[in-house]
A and B are shown apart, each in its own frame.
Chain A
Amino acid sequence: MFASSMLQNVVEKLILGGKQMKKTKMLVATLVCAVLLMGVGYAWWTDSISINGTVATGNMDVIWENCEPLLPLVLTGPYIKTDVDASEDAINFTFSNLYPGGFANIDCVAKNNSSIPVKVQRARIDVNADQELLPYLEVAVLFHKLNKNGWPVLGSYGVTDFVPIDKLADVLNSSSLKGMTLNPGERIVFGVPEGEESPYDLDGDGIGEECFLFRVKSSAPNGTMDKDVNFTLYLDFQQVNQQ
């Protein structure tokens, strides 16, 4: 009621007052009209709907799968001593008392425990070695991918040549390991899949050795006695959609 009478007053003044109304008052009146109209607008029925959202991030976690005593598994030639310390992020091992023609391998599995797919970005290696031994210590890597149900993925089997250990990262980065994608729950098994054979039978028993396979070349001279090579191989993973 008050609003409508006020509106009536304004209109009357506009008509009756004519030019006597000052511009300022005209502006005030217009403003009042606008406000009133807005008030009328609010008076219409209204309703709203809303989206309440929670955005939670996933996680990225690639691990060494440790299922003692099965993994990581170490196999060696005779008289070679081993020691392995494994966690989800790092496997550290020692092979000692190697000799020309001696070999040792370590069988390990990397699993994508993330909630998102990942891929192998690259391999890196740090090597600290007695230089006499370095040219004679060679490594080869055999690998394949398992899907989340534990079945080998066709075409994922890869084998590197034997190379001096300081060249290992280069060889892996030029193999099909680099860029290999792992969906959640999938694994990279360092070894030979069912139905395939390793080309490296180092002890001549008719069964090829596999996994991360280390050997001292038969041509290693006496200067390689009582020497050692320390190394750390890093496998860097990134989210699969990263360029």
Chain B
Amino acid sequence: MKKTRMLIATLVCAVMLMGVGYAWWTDTITLGGTVATGHMDVIFSQASLSGFDSIVGASASLSDDQKTITCNFDNLYPGAQGVLNTGIINNSSIPVKLSNVNVAFTGDVEQLKDHLLVSLSPNSGFVSIDQFVNNTKGNINRLGIGENVNSQIYFKMNEEASNDTTEGKSIGLTITYEWQQFNR
């Protein structure tokens, strides 16, 4: 027998043996799944200023991603005050809660920081920004899905600000609200 024939015969035998192996009965069941995550997205809904007199040059703008409000107060003087009208929307697919509020200052911080006062209501007392931050942290324990909270933040320059230290000064501040998922 030639080698070729021998090889073919061997191959045929192998295939037949494989066929015997496959002939056992089998069955399969499947579990198919898709697991998809949600998202977390909290934004400001608006930013506008009101209440400042015409002496004060005040402006507020909202960033394109609606994550940042920038306010400028020019020519502020002791006793001048106004209000920032804003709102917070929870665009997340889950509820969120306020975890922290941070404030960063720039400019003449030392001279002006303690004289820029803030309040959430014109009827409640004005407090320093540091005190405001501490008060705000516990304010929003839960913001539901799609929930919108309107907010007003009143700013005032302390009437007792002295000429020597506060005239011709400027201060910038960035208030950051940090949010976390409801179950954290």
Contact = CB atoms under 8 A, between A and B. Distances in A.
B95 interface: yes
Interface in A4-28: none
A46 to B, nearest CB: 41
A62 interface: yes
Given A99-B181, A238-B24, A238-B26, A233 B36 contact: no
Nearest to A118: B27
Contacts of B145: 79
Interface stretch (A30-38, A155-163, A173-181, A218-226): A218-226
Nearest to B184: A101
A97 to B, nearest CB: 4
Contacts of A61: 27
Contact of A60 (B26, B33, B35, B38): B26
Given A101-B183, A225-B40, A90 B30 contact: yes
Interface string B126-142: 00000000000000000
A133 B37 contact: yes
Interface string B25-69: 111111111111111100000000000000000000000000000
A91 B34 CA distance: 11
Q: Classify the secondary structure of B's interface with A.
A: strand
Nearest to B93: A97
A54 interface: no
Contacts of B184: 100-101, 218
A225 B39 contact: yes
A99 B94 CA distance: 8
Contacts of B36: 94-98, 226-229
Contacts of A233: 30-33
B27 A98 contact: no
Contact of B29 (A63, A96, A218, A242): A63
Contacts of B183: 77-78, 99, 101-102
B7 to A, nearest CB: 28
Interface in A76-123: 77-79, 88-102, 104, 106, 108, 110, 114, 116, 118, 121
Interface of B: 24-40, 93-95, 145, 181, 183-184
* Closest 7 pairs between A and B when the two form their complex, measured CB to CB: A97-B38, A228-B36, A225-B39, A92-B32, A96-B36, A60-B25, A233-B31
Interface of A: 60-64, 77-79, 88-102, 104, 106, 108, 110, 114, 116, 118, 121, 133, 137, 165, 212, 214, 216, 218, 220, 222, 224-239, 242
18 contacts: A62-B28, A79-B38, A94-B34, A94-B35, A96-B34, A97-B38, A99-B37, A99-B93, A100-B184, A108-B31, A118-B27, A121-B26, A224-B37, A228-B34, A228-B36, A230-B33, A232-B30, A234-B28
Given A98-B35, A230-B33, 20 more contacts: A60-B27, A63-B29, A79-B145, A91-B31, A91-B32, A92-B33, A93-B33, A94-B33, A94-B34, A95-B34, A95-B35, A97-B38, A97-B93, A99-B181, A102-B183, A104-B35, A121-B26, A225-B39, A226-B39, A231-B32
